[in-house]
Structure 1
Amino acid sequence: MTASRRIVAGFALAATATLAWADFPDKPVTLVVPFAAGGPTDKIARDLAEALRKPLGQTVVVENAGGAGGTIGAAKVARSAPDGYTLLVHHIGMATAPALYRKLPYKVPEDFEMLGLINEAPSVLIGNNSLPPNNFSELRQWITANGSKVNLANAGLGSASHLCGLMLQSALKSSLTTIPYKGTAPAMTDLIGGQVNLMCEQATNAVPQIEGGKVKVFGVTSSRRLTIAALKDSPTLAEAGLKDFDVQVWHGLYAPKGTSAPVLARLNAALRAALKDPDLIKRQGALGLTVISDERLDPAGHRRFVETEKQRWAKVIKEAGEYAD
């Protein structure tokens, strides 16, 4: 092939690729949730899917691929074709998995393209109604007096409740007996039933139990009080005595590494539009979630944030000595 023909062929290929990108998406987009249906990440993904349909002009479906603390679903997306049609909605576990798992089937952030943060979700420290303490000050004294006799439920290794519990024990300088469950629902059931004492759970899941008077509230984990009715009078744990305590479970959107720049730009633009949707903002707010509107909605800002969170949580996890093979 002559040089001129090679140039013409190159232009033809570039034009074809440009047309393909211009048509993106021309079929449904899948959001993979690395947890079971019905949990907080699943709820967030389904709300996001609805809000993404208009800016993308396509159906957006949610696929649950749970197991191994979210690593199975994340690995599925990392191995998917980098064409923008298979995306990952993941929480803080994206930054903590590298420290929690010795044999992680993907690398963070190397195997993913960051598309932007979605929201932040505060957690709530709750206990069963039979506990003697009625506020955090009393709870702290009770924990000091009882030590490892106090048990703390979580939804499994790498779950939001597990991570929040690690940070809580670090801040209290106390080692509680942690009891992992296979999901939030069974952990919450045993908490309400009195089989376990405490749980540090996302407000998304805790609010219905608080509204029903089924659990006690000892404080919220964010740096500011929440405005939702069920928690508006609940102090932050920082106010209650744990200086600078701030644990937020965030969620982000990811594509496989190697996804083309034009497709990434299209997806980021759609995410930005979705997060301005009044219905989405209202639904997220009702769950105590804050929709992201700062620099972390930019892919570069999202990447910097994940790196910072990796370092922060690696220290906490190392101190706790909790790992999975």
Structure 2
Amino acid sequence: MRRTVRTALIAMLLSGGVARADNFPSHPVTIVVPFAAGGPSDVMARKLAERMKTTLGETVLVENVTGAGGSIGVGRALRSPPDGYTISFGHLGTHVANGAVYKLDYDLVADLEPVVLLPSNPMIVVSKNAVPAKSLGELIAWLKAKPTPAAAGTAGAGSGSHIAGLYFQNVTGVKLQYVPYRGTGPAMNDLVAGQIDLIVDQLSNSINQVRAGNIRGYAITDTKRAESAPDIPTTDEAGLPGFHMTLWSGLWVPKGTPKDIVAKLNASAVDALNDPAVRKQLQNLGLQMPPKDKLSPEALGSWQKAEIAKWWPMIKAADVKVN
């Protein structure tokens, strides 16, 4: 009798575990964005969340957890139960560069399960309107002639805007004084207000301000002009050949999340990216859709490892300090 009860209990527990996976999700899912509301990461996450709730059948919330170049928000998501209900949104800065900048108490590869690669953003060199330069060449000359380094806004040490700034320094020989914010949304507010001089920013964060004439855009860090900003030259065209950088984004969940739940989240995100209305919204922001063969969890995992191998040496050579 006891054996029968024990067997029944084990069977019930096992079937319950399977049922939890099969019935996922049964309550709201949260995407943790490690930057302030209003920035490019936040905007992309909210557009995806709105569409993903249709396929998942549950509300998908966005929670902004800021600080330390996004590492606090990634840690918050990573330490959540591996049940698929907490998703880590991040990009080149948070899920690659931070490993070379911060003494993290987690491993960006070993402690996370990749879900899907998201649209990418070329960067754009932008300045406040008070800067006299009208071209990228003039901007570089102005920066070199300044008696003190220009103030460059970033989303924190190791963020995409910080990496892009370091890269810009390396290829031009200019000196910049970095001003960290909790996201490039707040940094952009100060650029428009004239409190800082420039940002090497994500195109999606800057394009509307450039269009409105609130800041000046010089060049896009891609090999071709952006459809959303055809009048802005590439860095190759502007006289800085080879200065190319794309800030890609992705979704991850804590390690140990069941593979069938990862598959459901991946399918929901891919469905959102394939939705014509969502695609148009993201492309209008200057975002570039990932190729269809790069949308699997495995593809994101491989890409993340390759980017770590590419960027860590440069970041460590720059001896980035965290204040």
Q: Provide the TM-score with structure 2 as the length reference.
A: 0.90
> Residue in 1 aligned with 2:298?
300
Deviation string, structure 1 residues 2-53 (Cα, Å, up to 9, x no partner): 9999988766554433332211111111111112222211111111111101
Query: Given residue 243 of structure 1, which amino acid in structure 2 is its aligned partner?
Result: P
1:19 matches 2:19? yes
Secondary structure (helix, strand or coil) at the match of 2:105 reads coil
1:254 matches 2:255? no
> Residue in 1 aligned with 2:278?
280
CA contact (8 A) 1:86 1:255 kept: yes
CA contact (8 A) 1:147 1:175 kept: no
> Residue in 2 aligned with 1:99?
100
2: CA distance, partners of 1:292 / 1:219: 22
Cα 1:185–1:114 shift into 2, 3 Å:
closer
CA contact (8 A) 2:35 2:183 kept: no
> Residue in 2 aligned with 1:82?
82
Cα 1:77–1:196 shift into 2, 3 Å:
closer
Cα 1:218–1:259 shift into 2, 3 Å:
same
> Residue in 1 aligned with 2:316?
318
2: CA distance, partners of 1:71 / 1:235: 33
1:144-163 pair list within 5 angstroms: 144-146=144-146, 149-163=149-163
Query: Given residue 305 of structure 1, which amino acid in structure 2 is its aligned partner?
Result: W
Query: Given residue 216 of structure 1, which amino acid in structure 2 is its aligned partner?
Result: R
Cα 1:215–1:304 shift into 2, 3 Å:
same
Structure 1, gaps ≥5 residues long: none
Q: How far apart are 1:287 and its partner, in Å?
A: 0.8
Cα 1:151–1:272 shift into 2, 3 Å:
same
1: CA distance, partners of 2:37 / 2:265: 24
2: CA distance, partners of 1:85 / 1:153: 33
Identity score, percent? 38
> Residue in 2 aligned with 1:203?
203
Structure 2, gaps ≥5 residues long: none
Query: Given residue 272 of structure 2, which amino acid in structure 1 is its aligned partner?
Result: A
> Residue in 2 aligned with 1:212?
212
1: CA distance, partners of 2:193 / 2:26: 50
> Residue in 2 aligned with 1:114?
114
Secondary structure (helix, strand or coil) at the match of 2:21 reads helix
> Residue in 2 aligned with 1:165?
165
CA contact (8 A) 1:123 1:202 kept: yes
Q: How far apart are 1:155 and its partner, in Å?
A: 3.2
Cα 1:109–1:283 shift into 2, 3 Å:
same
CA contact (8 A) 1:147 1:176 kept: no
2: CA distance, partners of 1:50 / 1:25: 15
Deviation string, structure 1 residues 92-135 (Cα, Å, up to 9, x no partner): 2211110010x212111111100011110122101222323211
1: CA distance, partners of 2:265 / 2:183: 31
Cα 1:183–1:114 shift into 2, 3 Å:
closer
1: CA distance, partners of 2:296 / 2:66: 27
Q: Of residues 222, 238, 241 in structure 1, which corresponds to 2:239?
A: 241
Cα 1:238–1:147 shift into 2, 3 Å:
farther
Cα 1:176–1:274 shift into 2, 3 Å:
same
2: CA distance, partners of 1:56 / 1:186: 32
Secondary structure (helix, strand or coil) at the match of 1:291 reads coil
> Residue in 2 aligned with 1:269?
267
CA contact (8 A) 1:275 1:292 kept: no
Secondary structure (helix, strand or coil) at the match of 2:43 reads helix
Cα 1:157–1:227 shift into 2, 3 Å:
same
Alignment size in residue pairs: 322
Query: Given residue 100 of structure 1, which amino acid in structure 2 is its aligned partner?
Result: V
116-125 vs 172-181, which deviates more?
A: 172-181
> Residue in 2 aligned with 1:222?
222
Q: How far apart are 1:81 and its partner, in Å?
A: 0.6
Q: How far apart are 1:158 and its partner, in Å?
A: 2.9
180-189 vs 302-311, which deviates more?
A: 180-189
Q: Provide the TM-score with structure 1 as the length reference.
A: 0.90
Cα 1:279–1:48 shift into 2, 3 Å:
same
CA contact (8 A) 1:226 1:288 kept: yes
Cα 1:36–1:193 shift into 2, 3 Å:
closer
Query: Given residue 98 of structure 2, which amino acid in structure 1 is its aligned partner?
Result: A
2: CA distance, partners of 1:42 / 1:313: 24
